[in-house]
Structure 1
Amino acid sequence: MNELDQKINRYFLGLVVRKDLVKTVKGNAIVPSYVLEYLLGQYCATSDEATIQTGIETVKEILAKHYVHRNEAGLIRSNIKEKGRYKVIDKIGVALNDKVNAYQAEFENLGIKKVVVDSGTVKKHPKLLVGGVWCICDIEYEFNEEKDASPWILASLKPIQLSHFDYDGYLEARKQFTTSEWIDVLLQSIGLNPEVFGRRSKLIQLIRLIPFCERNYNLIELGPKGTGKSHIFSEFSPHGTLVSGGEATLAKLFINNTTGKIGLVGYWDVVAMDEFAGSNKKPDIKLIDTLKNYMANKSFNRGTGPQGAEASMVFIGNTSHNVPYMLKHGNLFMDLPETYRNTDGQAILDRMHWYLPGWEMENLRSEMFSEGYGFVVDYLAEVLRSLRSQDYSDRYQKHFSLSSDISTRDRDGINKTFSGLMKILFPHGEVSVEEIEELLRFSIEGRKRVKDQLMRVDPTYGNVHFIYLDSSKQTKNVTTLEEEEYPHYYHTTFFDGEEGTSDANGRADALVVCSDAGLAPEVVLKEKHLTFQENQKGISFDDLLGPYLRGTTSITITDPYIRLFYQIRNFMEFLETIVKHKAQDEEIAVHLVTMEDEFKGEQQKETFEKIKESSNAVGINFTWEFDNTGTIHARNIVTNHGWKIALDRGLDIFQHYEMNDTFTFANRLQQYRPCKAFEVTFIRHKEKTHK
């Protein structure tokens, strides 16, 4: 175990489980993760390896004996008949049969129906009536010759979810973790490896938890396939349900006028609508009207009078185009059915509190899944559920205020997102001003993404300046990442084809760095400072550094971290940029100052020798030196024709990508890689030639 795993086990003893165990025990059981982790939590919630191994075997045995596979349902039914009583794990739905005045259960995998359930059980677990619940049940068999009588008897029923937890103990234990540690604990708890995600990506993942802790929260996520959009809502919590877009009917979601039966929003904390996108789909207009009213007023009326509910709504869909295409040819809602983009449907989009940019999430790969310790998910689900009754939306107002230009609806979206993030990250209330500002900016960005795209759909929406003020009344502007990456497309569309418009942050310089090659103007070299956000794409050494290297005959690069394979590969790509920007008949001296690897210094030297040999053939005279004094911290590039380029991260500006996958464009072209947050400063200096 690493230090964080040890800390989790120390302060949450018995409430955490090693996340790779889910795959170990799952086998071919088609069952949500929270069901498996419930069992693992009973037998494997420990750091003792011997106990874990014994617990794994116990859980496997329980699943083998009691989990009902559909293709083995006949065998299980036979076991019940022969033994008289048998325990099963299955998904159970209950309905009222008014002909016999009784509640009757249907077992999804076992395939038995009309199993009588007493009223007390239904009152205690009302979600049995809507959508079905995973349960551990004792079933008895007693044949009865009466007509229509079922031989199956429900002896006991226990939904698979935590019955209680110590909330005060949770808050006290949270205090023992730094913010970064706590974020990593939560990432591991939802099954992700925090080591492969940057800060921004981690926060985006945690946004998906807000609907579980914030009542009536409306979230939309559109992005490419395979990024794990629906996983949280289908696997994470017994309080959320995932509905396919084609199954989202008025009766199923809200109320059945024929039976008077309340729909999903009346029983579940979160209702997620999958497959929401698809430009050819034609949603029910009445469903859209009811959704619109519910998302605005937290109530619905289907002829039986107003009904209140607090379910959060999540809308998930796939995009079929990349971001620059959508911005150039339409908007970031362009893959939704046209019905949602006309006048009535726009009202639903305007009620979204946050637009999660799914295109920033990479396709899930094996190294992205956690093998460390995290909360048993039903424990975390209960924690989040208990936070639904609290309100943290005003926690920023002592230090910051929103611009009066921001409407009430925009303000609600920002406040609810901020409240949700505070509950998730700082439930104990101990938070710095800098951390409050980080969450506030993040909350504003997601709502701005909604409003900016609505302005593209319908120009009658007024332009809103998403600005906030600090305690000294200094104004601060917020932009979306797409705005930073593609300012030409972003602002051309806004202003009816007028080109050259830059945003309030003066990001015209970023246009040179980030826009498509065919659109970028001729680069004029000047002193400047650029800041790039995490996950920003469209950045390459060629565009960022190339113009400032053209014409030099000597370059010195100082970077203490050119040791690991990916760092040396970055350096090799930097040399490629030099080659691209020099004439074939020129030679350039490149000198590297770095630190020797403590354990693999000889291998590092061998690699540099290979680079030297290769560079000679293309007109690069490569030399290097090791400075192991520990005094080199600044990372910069100095040319002998008057420029110093200060890179706060050195050449290590890109996030992890598949280096060994020949067929991934991120492997071959830097502009398709998401970058880390970094800054670069271009400074004129006196000529200095390396000797």
Structure 2
Amino acid sequence: MSNLDAKINEHFAGFVVRKDLVKAVKGNAIVPTYVLEYLLGQYCATDDEASIESGIETVKEILRKHYVHRSEAGLIQSSIKEKGRYRVIDQVSVALNEKTDSYEATFDNLGIKKVAVDSGTVKAHPKLLVTGVWCIADVQYEFSEDNRLSPWILETIKPIQIARVDYEGYKEARSKFTTDEWIDLLMQSIGFDPAAFGRRSKLLQLMRLIPFVERNYNIIELGPKGTGKSHIYSEFSPHGQLISGGEVTIPKLFVNNSNGRIGLVGYWDVVAFDEFAGREKTANKALVDIMKNYMANKSFSRGVNPMGAEASFAFVGNTDHNVPFMLKNSDLFEALPTQFHDSAFIDRLHAYLPGWEVDVIRGEMFTSGYGFIVDYLAEILRHLRQEDFSNRPERFFRISEKISTRDRDAIYKTMSGLLKVIFPDGSETETEMEELLRLALESRKRVKDQLFRIDSTYPDVDFYYVGSSGEKRRITTVEEEEFPQYYHKKRRVENLAESSADMTDDEPLIEIDEDTADGTAKGKAPEPSRALEGHHDYAENRRGLTYDGLFGPYIEGATRIDVTDPYIRYFYQIRNMMEFVEMVIRRKAPEDQVAIHLTTGPDDGNITKQRELLDSIVEACTGSGVEFSWKFDGTGTGHARTIVADTGWKIVLDRGLDIYQAPIRRDGFSLGDRLQEYRMIKGFYVTYVRA
């Protein structure tokens, strides 16, 4: 057990479970994760291995005896008949039979209908009237000669969800964890190994939880297939409902005029639309109009009295093209159906989560550590919907006064959601607040920048905030920094029409900062094509950066290069060193000789392996025209990370060569492992100075 797992069990005893146990008990039972963890929470919420083993067997036995497989429905029906009463785990829905003036339940897997339900049960669990709810139920069989009476009777029913939670105790326990520990605990709670994700990637995963803590929050995530976009909404919480984008109707979603019954938005905290993208798909225009009104005003009407609801909307779908293609030829919403590729609809989205930054889910990304029983966390998040943290950023920062009220509301709702998830106890520092504020601003800016492409009547908004020092700090999106030549293409064309300036298609928009006289490429920290002094910051999760682009112009023609980096220790870090050497070999002329010398620190955990790997670089360079040498700095290199070439240049890096996120694929291939330009980076800066 890791130190974090021990700490989790110490402060949340009884409310956490080892996450790999779900696979151990699931077998071929097609049930949501929260159902399995509900059962595991009853019997395995401990760190005692013997109790866990016993609990697993108990849960397996419960599933074996009571979970209804469709293929075994006839056998279970027979058991109910023979025994007169039987307990089942199934998805249950209830409808009113107006002819008999009675409620009747349907058991999906068991395959029985018209099960008699008393009014008290329906009043206690109204969600049963809207859609299927996973329940533990006792079903009776009493045959009657009266054909009008069903032999099936629902005796008792208990929706699978935890009862009350101690919210104050939750906040108190939160204060015992550092921010990094808490984020890792949340990542393990949704099933992921924190070590497989960078800081920004973790925050993007946690953004998926915002609809569960914020009322009437609208978020969209579009990206490649297989990144787990719908997992949170289908498996995580009994308060969320995932529906296929093509299966929704006005009566199902909002209100049925024939009986006045409210739809999904009245009963669920989150309604998620899966497979929402697809240009070939069509949508009912009336549905789109009602959705737009609800997303803007939290209310809807179908010719009767207006009705209000609190459900948040989450839209998830797959993109057909990569980001540069979309930016060059259309916009980042291009995959939406025509009826939803509408500026009024898009403007009502509070945040656009960049799904292309989320890695494809693989087996090695799942955790075997401890996390909250998802149903416990779901109840906490539901309680947090009553809170409002939107004003907390104003303690430290002020958002641009030039943005619209809708933009401001979107940013504050995203901020409120992130603060509820990560800092429910209000323990955030100014630096931590700024990190979340930048993410919230960026998520809304992504929406607004694409609106500007789709509808030119929307103004170009300057997204910035002001810190305590009074300094303006502008926001750019990662794709804006990565592909400025395409991101600002439309504005560049309009500027050309107005000014007839001589500008090539690949030139970025030049914007004069009002605080300086220098013209800089907006949002761009480029790989230098020639050696120039300067300082550049690079945002986490962007791609396209290579050692050749970053260092090549500065080491061109060098005969000696000194690399100082105290953390060339682990395999992937030494691999980075090898890739730097390979870059030098490709750059130099075949007849030239170059000496590369590394000064680093010893890996106290496995210095023998470190020596072997570094010596293997020495051997690999034999006959290449590059002589590689290395040494441990006995006096300590501190945290200095520099590259000095006898060309007269010194390169200072806060991360040294360790600019890429560590690879996690254990077998097979990925472009990120083969080509640096496809590898996600960590956030870092680089400074070029004359030595």
- TM bin, normalised by shorter chain, reads over 0.9
Change (3 A) 1:49 1:658: closer
Change (3 A) 1:472 1:639: closer
Is 1:350 the equivalent of 2:356?
no
Correspondence 1:449-464 to 2 at 5 A: 449-464=446-461
Change (3 A) 1:176 1:602: closer
Q: Is the 8 A contact 2:508 2:522 kept in 1?
A: no
1:440 positional shift: 1.2
Change (3 A) 1:334 1:507: farther
Alignment-derived partner of residue 321 in structure 1: 321
Query: Does the residue aligned with 1:495 lie in a helix, a strand or coil?
Result: helix
Which deviations, in whole Å up to 9, do the C-alpha atoms of 1:500-550 show, x marking residues without a partner? 314678764985845xxxxxxx82311111111110111110111111111
Give, in whole Å, the separation in 1 of the partners of 2:131 and 2:510.
Answer: 49
Correspondence 1:20-99 to 2 at 5 A: 20-99=20-99
Alignment-derived partner of residue 587 in structure 1: 593
Is 1:477 the equivalent of 2:474?
yes
Equivalent of 2:681, from 675, 679, 690?
Answer: 675
1:495 positional shift: 2.4
1:325 positional shift: 0.8
Alignment-derived partner of residue 429 in structure 2: 432
Alignment-derived partner of residue 377 in structure 2: 380
Correspondence 1:157-196 to 2 at 5 A: 157-196=157-196
What TM-score does the superposition give when structure 2 sets the normalisation length? 0.95
Is 1:500 the equivalent of 2:497?
no
Change (3 A) 1:221 1:478: same
Give, in whole Å, the separation in 2 of the partners of 1:31 and 1:108.
Answer: 12
Correspondence 1:598-677 to 2 at 5 A: 598-657=604-663, 663-677=669-683
Query: Does the residue aligned with 2:673 lie in a helix, a strand or coil?
Result: helix
Point out the more displaced range, 651-660 or 165-174. 651-660
Structure 1 residues without counterparts, runs of 5 or longer: 515-521, 686-691
Which deviations, in whole Å up to 9, do the C-alpha atoms of 1:382-403 show, x marking residues without a partner? 0010111111100111221111
Give, in whole Å, the separation in 2 of the partners of 1:464 and 1:602.
Answer: 56
Q: Is the 8 A contact 2:480 2:524 kept in 1?
A: no
Change (3 A) 1:325 1:594: same
Alignment-derived partner of residue 500 in structure 2: none
Paired letter, 2:440: S
Correspondence 1:245-644 to 2 at 5 A: 245-341=245-341, 345-496=342-493, 499-502=507-510, 508=521, 513=526, 523-644=529-650
1:598 positional shift: 2.8
Q: Is the 8 A contact 1:653 1:675 kept in 2?
A: yes
Which deviations, in whole Å up to 9, do the C-alpha atoms of 1:615-672 show, x marking residues without a partner? 1322101111122443442111110110111111111111133566564211111011
Give, in whole Å, the separation in 2 of the partners of 1:139 and 1:259.
Answer: 29
Give, in whole Å, the separation in 1 of the partners of 2:599 and 2:354.
Answer: 39
Q: Is the 8 A contact 2:200 2:541 kept in 1?
A: yes
Structure 2 residues without counterparts, runs of 5 or longer: 497-502, 514-518
Query: Does the residue aligned with 1:338 lie in a helix, a strand or coil?
Result: coil
Change (3 A) 1:70 1:229: same
Give, in whole Å, the separation in 2 of the partners of 1:661 and 1:167.
Answer: 43
Change (3 A) 1:407 1:511: closer
Give, in whole Å, the separation in 2 of the partners of 1:51 and 1:504.
Answer: 66
Change (3 A) 1:660 1:164: closer
Give, in whole Å, the separation in 2 of the partners of 1:608 and 1:170.
Answer: 48
What TM-score does the superposition give when structure 1 sets the normalisation length? 0.95
Which deviations, in whole Å up to 9, do the C-alpha atoms of 1:221-278 show, x marking residues without a partner? 0000000000000000000000001101112111122333211111100000011100
Which deviations, in whole Å up to 9, do the C-alpha atoms of 1:106-137 show, x marking residues without a partner? 00100000011111111111110112110000
Change (3 A) 1:311 1:512: closer
Q: Is the 8 A contact 2:364 2:666 kept in 1?
A: no
Change (3 A) 1:659 1:152: closer
Paired letter, 1:359: W
Alignment-derived partner of residue 5 in structure 2: 5
Query: Does the residue aligned with 1:545 lie in a helix, a strand or coil?
Result: helix
Give, in whole Å, the separation in 2 of the partners of 1:339 and 1:235.
Answer: 29
Give, in whole Å, the separation in 1 of the partners of 2:78 and 2:107.
Answer: 15
Which deviations, in whole Å up to 9, do the C-alpha atoms of 1:25-79 show, x marking residues without a partner? 1111110000000000000000111000000000000000000010011111111
1:603 positional shift: 3.3
Give, in whole Å, the separation in 2 of the partners of 1:667 and 1:682.
Answer: 27
Query: Does the residue aligned with 1:52 lie in a helix, a strand or coil?
Result: helix
Give, in whole Å, the separation in 2 of the partners of 1:512 and 1:588.
Answer: 29
Q: How many residues were matched structurally?
A: 675
Q: Is the 8 A contact 1:559 1:634 kept in 2?
A: yes
Query: Does the residue aligned with 1:59 lie in a helix, a strand or coil?
Result: helix
Alignment-derived partner of residue 215 in structure 1: 215
Identical positions, percent: 60
1:320 positional shift: 1.0
Q: Is the 8 A contact 2:602 2:632 kept in 1?
A: yes
Q: Is the 8 A contact 1:488 1:511 kept in 2?
A: no
Alignment-derived partner of residue 198 in structure 2: 198
Query: Does the residue aligned with 2:615 lie in a helix, a strand or coil?
Result: helix
Give, in whole Å, the separation in 2 of the partners of 1:257 and 1:36.
Answer: 37
Change (3 A) 1:150 1:628: farther
Point out the more displaced range, 293-302 or 394-403. 394-403
Query: Does the residue aligned with 1:441 lie in a helix, a strand or coil?
Result: helix
Q: Is the 8 A contact 2:565 2:637 kept in 1?
A: no
Give, in whole Å, the separation in 2 of the partners of 1:273 and 1:608.
Answer: 51
Paired letter, 1:485: E
Query: Does the residue aligned with 1:227 lie in a helix, a strand or coil?
Result: coil
Which deviations, in whole Å up to 9, do the C-alpha atoms of 1:324-345 show, x marking residues without a partner? 111111110011112222xxx3
Give, in whole Å, the separation in 1 of the partners of 2:271 and 2:512.
Answer: 38
1:353 positional shift: 0.4
Paired letter, 1:636: T
Change (3 A) 1:351 1:121: same
Point out the more displaced range, 427-436 or 595-604. 595-604
Alpha carbon RMSD of aligned pairs, Å?
A: 1.6
Q: Is the 8 A contact 2:134 2:159 kept in 1?
A: yes
Paired letter, 2:661: Q
Query: Does the residue aligned with 1:667 lie in a helix, a strand or coil?
Result: helix
Give, in whole Å, the separation in 2 of the partners of 1:503 and 1:357.
Answer: 25
Query: Does the residue aligned with 2:112 lie in a helix, a strand or coil?
Result: coil
Point out the more displaced range, 145-154 or 156-165. 145-154
Paired letter, 1:194: P
Query: Does the residue aligned with 1:134 lie in a helix, a strand or coil?
Result: strand
Change (3 A) 1:462 1:599: closer
Give, in whole Å, the separation in 1 of the partners of 2:349 and 2:105.
Answer: 36
Change (3 A) 1:547 1:392: same
Q: Is the 8 A contact 2:571 2:613 kept in 1?
A: no
Change (3 A) 1:336 1:592: same
Change (3 A) 1:76 1:503: farther
1:599 positional shift: 4.5
